[in-house]
Amino acid sequence: QVQLRESGPGLVRPSQTLSLTCSISGDSVSTNSAAWNWIRHSPSRGLEWLGRTYYRSKRYNDYGTSVKSRISINPDTSRNQFSLQLTSATPEDTGVYYCVRYNWNGGFDCWGQGTLVTVSS
Amino acid sequence: DIVMTQSPDSLAVSLGERATINCKSSQSILYNSNKKNYLSWYQQKPGQSPKLLIYWASIRESGVPDRFSGGGSGTDFTLTISSLQAEDVAVYYCHQYYDTPWTFGQGTKVEIK
């Protein structure tokens, strides 16, 4: 079955770049059947969709409004991974970050276990 | 952005009783060409990742108990737990995937009365 696993630093200093990687097993980051997403959860914001990357004959990206100027999500087909980079981190970026598969048949059907990232000096 | 508003914020229901959660979108999320509502529901238990319960507003994900049902169309949707069990204590979220940026409701916490 499909499994996703997030990895990356648990502590990021303010103004630095928050970087995470999601490793995929049981599916392919270049599939046409799914989109690969980052979603975060914080007590103040609840669940927040940050963005996605997907292939439909070519590669596409879409990003959430609140992070649009700071975010980049990129696939790595050689490692079957995708990454999140969020520049100019602030304490408001603190939260649990999930990598998630969206099945074009409907819904986020597979979630990683989540990784807590704290932005603090 | 499409705003998703859930009500109530929290709900306490006796075991075996019905729980109903409402979700309202700031614009219609019914796509007229295929007559599908781009709405899903998730359950998040403490310390766990969210789990998909319902998609296309009313289709249960494989393995989800049939006491969970989704309904509604256009801008108004409901998630119903027909007979609340102890293992249903969780926070429930609705989500629209009609248009990016995709957005979630703020969550509804379901507890046992």
Give whole-number Cα distances, B77 to A57, B24, B25, in Å: 34, 6, 8
The answer to whether the CB of B38 falls within 8 A of the CB of B29 is yes
- Judged by CB atoms closer than 8 Å, whether chains meet at B50 and A47 is answered as yes
Backbone angles phi, psi at A113, to 5 degrees: -75, -15
Residue B29 to chain A, least CA–CA distance (Å) = 14
The chain-wide mean pLDDT, for chain A, equals 96
Residue A113 to chain B, least CA–CA distance (Å) = 6
- Judged by CB atoms closer than 8 Å, whether chains meet at B102 and A49 is answered as yes
| pLDDT one-digit tens code per residue, B32-62 | 999 999 999 999 999 999 999 999 999 999 9
Average pLDDT over residues B55-81: 98
Taking contacts as CB-CB distances below 8 angstroms, the residues of chain A near B51 are 111
Average pLDDT over residues A64-89: 97
**% of chain B exceeding 70 in pLDDT:** 100
pLDDT computed for residue A99 by the predictor: 98
pLDDT-derived band at B78 (thresholds 50, 70, 90) equals: very high
Whether A106 has a pLDDT exceeding 90, the answer reads no
What is the token pair recorded at B26?
């700031």
Residue A44 to chain B, least CA–CA distance (Å) = 10
pLDDT computed for residue A105 by the predictor: 85
What is the token pair recorded at B19?
């729980």
pLDDT-derived band at B8 (thresholds 50, 70, 90) equals: very high
State how far the Cα of B73 lies from the Cα of B30, in Å rounded to an integer: 7
Q: Which residues pair with A55 in a beta bridge?
A: A59
- Judged by CB atoms closer than 8 Å, whether chains meet at B49 and A48 is answered as no
pLDDT computed for residue B45 by the predictor: 96
Alpha helix ranges (H) inside chain A: none
Average pLDDT over residues A9-33: 97
- Three-state DSSP state, A106: coil
- Judged by CB atoms closer than 8 Å, whether chains meet at B59 and A48 is answered as no
State how far the Cα of A84 lies from the Cα of A25, in Å rounded to an integer: 18
Whether B105 has a pLDDT exceeding 90, the answer reads yes
Average pLDDT over residues B73-78: 98
Whether A57 has a pLDDT exceeding 90, the answer reads no
pLDDT-derived band at A94 (thresholds 50, 70, 90) equals: very high
Average pLDDT over residues A15-32: 97
